[in-house]
Structure 1
């Protein structure tokens, strides 16, 4: 009997990378591995993605873990660096850094480094999170070009706010704002995240940076990975550890939040919010057992969930339960739990066993 397990299909991962290249055949691919590769295992995922052109992470500790794991490809720090000592580490470790504000540029201009650093200049075209005002692009670019600590071939990037919705004009506006303010710059560009790759072909440019879609999950609203010919990489499973008879009128779980309307059977699954399953998943959230759908009843607890089996006596002690995966899209579970797939994938906790497979 295997308890909480995240089965990671590396073949599906690389099929998704191939799908990215189909959608953006003229672009190089920067695979986004932040947040432990969206919960899939940072170093193992990087080692498997041998056909990626570069990797991107949020913070320098993630980049250092990749180098320690033997990854030699370019690694981009999407948030840049914020301390002079980290700037020195980036130079010695051959990390690329994103520059998105005056303080970072000033630090670069006044540092003493062993070698120049590759820089991506980020413009804020409407996300209003990180990035310089586009009107400052020429000034920042000239200062970077003249800085002894900056390597040649400065690249430019931005980030979309609403690319998951093809009916929203925000992405078109952001692209127009971006291109309008880089007319004098002819270096490599990177605009498209996963949603840009799928929904906005004009954003592909020299580089694309897929994140969520690499893991087989749709980056678009009201869609699943299968809608874009993507394959689920994570299959989250556990087992039935007890089966109980519950009489009509009896309640199940904390707060007596669910009451049986008829005599029924309950399967107890070794999976809870201590494993990363969403505590707020409501009654009716589906699971798969032996190829059939069953529904969660009662509150999710730290270590267990309860599933109504009804009069189906085919389910036995020890049977495997799929919480999400190829047969049950994580997008569907996210909808039940009123959250997004990103959160579910990233919230898997260390006590869950990881099993990497190739098909």
Structure 2
């Protein structure tokens, strides 16, 4: 089979969850939306099912996959429901749901329910994507509380710039949130991964760690190992072709790279159709049999060319780590002008190998 392997360290996922919860204090929902950021939601959730306070997914279908996989703990729908018919499934499977606008609140209040819901009522404290404005929040809360449709209401918001150390936007959002929820009973949840890592005032009753569970940090220039996180995914392939070129020869599409010396070029299985970013072309780091090297030329749909010139022992069959223990996914993302979330979520066609 094609030798592109995404090895998933479930013990590292468990380590990162426990670390995130310890750093935050209180309880923490493991965010496993988008198939656990490309790592496999069911397997990741199973790895922490005995210790996790609950899970968070984007939508109903993701929650049902977890229930089908034997996950019995709380599962929060971060986007809430999209139509009233979904509320029956929420009730049947004991799911928690976010309510983030008047339409969702009206839908919930107008739909008969056998049991009260666990509702996370979202505030737009400054991100301006979803949630009730601070001036409208208390009224929405009181409407929900008076309806008897909620057995508990968790007050929540989401940060827009928590991953920018030194930016005052997070403090301003937190102040707006606190002012609007003053006097309203119930738990609070405001901290995402960046909030957990660098904003202690945001540590409340419930944390919502996401990217940090997978061993990556949302912080600029921050390697996950610096804060005790361990990479969960190791994406690796093998060299299946070697070519000797003299100086002045182009490599790959568009001749974007031209050799400046005699060069050994290694060809590996993997490309942008597998989720490796096309923009991470010449210069993006790789590790060949444990030795650092780089990509040369453009990333193709199915293949990548790398520099073997200074690695005389490397050749056909050599293992190439694209990211993982030696090559930080953050470093690859930075080279491609994107974020690690996108790289991890985009992995496909690779053979997933779970390591407990």
Aligned to 2:67: 67
**In the alignment, what sits opposite 2:345?**
346
Partner of residue 285, structure 2: 286
Cα drift, residue 147 of structure 1: 2.0
Q: Which residue pairs with 2:41 in the alignment?
A: 42
* TM-score normalised to structure 2 length: 0.97
Matches within 5 A, 1:171-320: 171-320=170-319
Q: For the residues of structure 2 that align with 1:220 and 1:311, how far apart are their CA atoms? A: 33
Residue 151 of structure 1 corresponds to 150
Shift of 1:316: 2.2
Structure 1 residues 112-151: aligned runs within 5 Å: 112-148=112-148, 150-151=149-150
Equivalence for 1:357: 355
**Number of positions where the alignment pairs a residue of Structure 1 with one of Structure 2:** 355
Kept in 2, the 8 Å contact 1:6–1:235? The answer is yes
CA shift in 2, pair 1:132/1:311, >3 Å: closer
Instruction: Tell whether the 8 Å contact from 1:92 to 1:115 is kept in structure 2 after alignment.
Output: no
Is the Cα contact below 8 Å between 1:2 and 1:239 reproduced in 2?
A: no
3-state SS of paired residue (2:152): coil
| Residues 121-130 or 255-264, more deviating | 255-264
State whether residues 251 and 260 of structure 1, in contact with CA within 8 Å, keep that contact through their aligned partners in structure 2: yes
| 1: CA distance, partners of 2:311 / 2:102 | 64
Q: Contact 2:46–2:71 at 8 Å: present in 1 too?
A: yes
Separation (CA, whole Å) in 1 of partners of 2:112 and 2:134: 28
Aligned-residue CA RMSD (Å): 1.2
C-alpha displacement of 1:220: 1.4
Please state how far the C-alpha of 1:186 moved relative to its aligned partner: 2.1
- Partner Cα separation in structure 2 for residue 109 and residue 72 of structure 1: 26
What is the alpha-carbon distance in structure 2 between the residues aligned to residue 312 and residue 4 of structure 1? 21
CA distance in 2, matches of 1:176, 1:162: 14
Cα displacement (A) at 1:226: 1.1
Q: CA deviation at 1:17?
A: 1.4
Distance in 1, Cα, partners of 2:311 & 2:132: 60
Quote the Cα distance in structure 2 between the aligned partners of 1:267 and 1:138. Answer: 62
- Residue 278 of structure 1 aligns to a residue whose secondary structure is coil
Tell me what 2:54 maps to.
Answer: 54
Aligned to 1:20: 20
Q: Which 4+ residue blocks in structure 1 deviate beyond 6 angstroms?
A: none
**8 A Cα contact 1:92 1:114, kept in partner:** no
